[in-house]
Chains A and B, each alone.
Chain A
């Protein structure tokens, strides 16, 4: 397990076990993970590898059978402590694949949800919403639009803005760009990475796309069948190719790029 040296980790998962069938099988099987402040971590793996479940333990949406989750050195509130867990979640940005914008609220109202829950003064909320709309690359006049009228890419920009609205230190993202077309996906991913730097965020992103993980994150954690099988920087993974399952995933984009080049220059085909 990679442990960032120096200061204590911001997020600490210890011996997490998650089961959805009362213990007969484990979606996540005895996983420990420590995440340092300011890092961008990608959780990568196939469907069913347990990456999403592991992510959701951090904001209490999934409760592990055993093991503990601490943020900033304190265990997170229990799921049945409704007020405490809700308050805790307001400090964590959360972005999901299907966005989940509230259809009865405008773009601005969606972005303002968490600041309102926190009781920010209205003037601060208005200014913050305006800033965020610009930051995620939406035109200013989108504020008053009904969220149902937006395209998929625009919705996810609003989703990112909503997650960042209350100035969280941690952002959890579950396949945030998975449903977008490749160009939007690339531009929104890069835009987010800039915001991550700018605000000094700690980001944990679940994705099944190794290329996206490699391009955006500082650290890649590969999961398989509920366990972590690999955990390193993108650079180390790309150069050292630790295990065949991981190197296959890593090499796929490279091989695809070579095949495309072969189409353009047939004589250069290595095979």
Chain B
């Protein structure tokens, strides 16, 4: 527990500084967009309803969806600008996060500014005209000062929303306090999840309190309160983002999808590259499809993917050739079609497999899926939530004629518990899952090769194809990780007692397989 908290604090400067930079940028940009928009709509009342409706509609888009939406948009935009000006726009990370959060920041400021400006006492507006103010002078000298407390209240709401929503930037590759939450959820590290939630909430609360002081100052025309509030904000922001200046700019970006094994392997690769003296950052928690696109567009330099996934999802093949054939064809296709280098397999597979408790398997005499098919009508299958909808299940069912008595879906933790308690007899597992060794499970053979191979392979971005540092750092990993070693590392992160962080697990793994991190 204590170790977890220490690990969490160790990455806090990095997460917090990036979170603050993103939030501040989105808020400032939101102000820049919404303020003129509000003034324009106040001058042309016909615009008011459509503008506010669109802003409200944007607000109803779920945060995660909005962030995800900007990825393809920027990708398309990047394709256009690359063709037209040779300028590539990064589609992952800061830019999509900034765009989505800015849209979120707009509504509260826009709505309050419009309300504040239209809510001015008509007598005062008439007096402002009567004393000879131009439209601009009325706006600057009377309307904005009088609407300022209402506008500030909008800025405050917007700031709190933006800080909260910035935690959702993690899956599109922008580091934020959300990294604690997303990686914690995937590795069931509740200390990290809680730490991330508390950190984000505390940040929002502090900013809210300081902005409340500014708001009060604006309402009471108390210059000292406004100045001290703003000073606290500026100093706080600078202090929070200081680590960004002290740290050198990362030369290499290593990606990870959103599960424990990926976090560990990314850490392992990062440690190896750092050992070469090159700075590295991690882009963790990427969606499965996003990770490959990010690599081929150069947003990340290296990550680990699985042959079967690339074979079906990227190439679009339906057949399942033998391991060597698949790897050779895949390597050639990647290099020819995408310029992506398949550096080589790590030496283990992370495939969908069916598993039983050892004593149960021995009792029934089941060693392969063929054996299982004969007993299936009397057995219950426990599956993870997506398994029953996946092509792997359809392929298994058809090749072996599997008909279970009953099939239940669980989240992974409960699926293993159901197997241990005997509620289910067979489960769908990932072959590198640490719980296979820990719970003493038997993985059934697939003699008919119904499920493709899922060999873990290291991929390099096109621009890094001949990068000496990356190759030197990562080549020793090829063929060096046996599935047992990977299971131990995964289990160290997944288990509840004596839980390890991905970085610790990666270091342990490096020692276990005999490469120096």
Contact = CB atoms under 8 A, between A and B. Distances in A.
A218 interface: no
A195 B131 CA distance: 19
A104 interface: yes
Given A86-B137, A96-B123, A117-B137, A104 B221 contact: yes
Contacts of A117: 131-133, 137
Interface string B131-151: 111110100001001100000
B134 A61 contact: no
Interface in B99-151: 121, 123-124, 126-135, 137, 142, 145-146
A8 B135 CA distance: 33
Nearest to A106: B221
A91 B135 CA distance: 17
Given A86-B137, A117-B137, A103 B124 contact: yes
A182 B411 CA distance: 81
B131 A94 contact: yes
A87 B137 CA distance: 12
Interface string A221-261: 00000000000000000000000000000000000000000
A90 B121 CA distance: 21
A83 B134 contact: yes
A102 B142 contact: yes
Contacts of A100: 121, 123-124, 126-128, 130
Nearest to B135: A82
A82 B132 CA distance: 10
Contacts of B131: 89-90, 94, 113-114, 117, 162
B128, B130, B133, B134: most-surrounded residue (chain A CB, <10 A): B130
Contacts of B221: 104
A204 to B, nearest CB: 14
A96 B135 contact: no
Contacts of A87: 132
Interface in B223-267: none
Nearest to B145: A104
Nearest to A102: B142
B146 A103 contact: yes
Nearest to A97: B123
Contacts, number: 59
A99 interface: yes
A90 B132 contact: yes
Interface in B145-173: 145-146
A148 to B, nearest CB: 11
Nearest to A79: B129
B61 to A, nearest CB: 38
A86 B131 CA distance: 8
A268 to B, nearest CB: 46
Given A87-B132, A90-B132, A117-B132, A101 B127 contact: yes
Contacts of A99: 123, 127
Contacts of B121: 100
A98 interface: yes
A57 B131 CA distance: 15
B138 to A, nearest CB: 9
B129 A102 contact: no
B127 A59 contact: no
B455 to A, nearest CB: 71
A96 B137 contact: no
Contacts of A113: 131, 133
Given A104-B145, A104-B221, A114 B132 contact: yes
A83 B129 CA distance: 11
Nearest to A83: B134
Contacts of A61: 126, 129-130
Residue among B127, B132, B133 facing the most chain A CB atoms (10 A cut-off): B132
Given A104-B145, A104-B146, A104-B221, A89 B132 contact: yes
Nearest to A104: B145
A172 B146 CA distance: 26
Given A86-B133, A96-B123, A162-B131, 19 more contacts: A61-B126, A87-B132, A88-B132, A89-B129, A89-B131, A90-B131, A94-B131, A96-B127, A96-B130, A99-B123, A100-B124, A100-B126, A100-B127, A101-B124, A102-B124, A104-B146, A113-B131, A113-B133, A117-B137
15 contacts: A61-B126, A82-B134, A86-B134, A89-B129, A89-B130, A89-B131, A96-B126, A96-B127, A100-B128, A101-B124, A101-B127, A102-B142, A104-B142, A104-B145, A104-B221
Query: What 4 A-B pairs are tightest by C-beta distance, nearest first?
Result: A100-B127, A90-B132, A94-B130, A89-B132
Interface of A: 59, 61, 82-83, 86-91, 94, 96, 98-104, 113-114, 117, 162
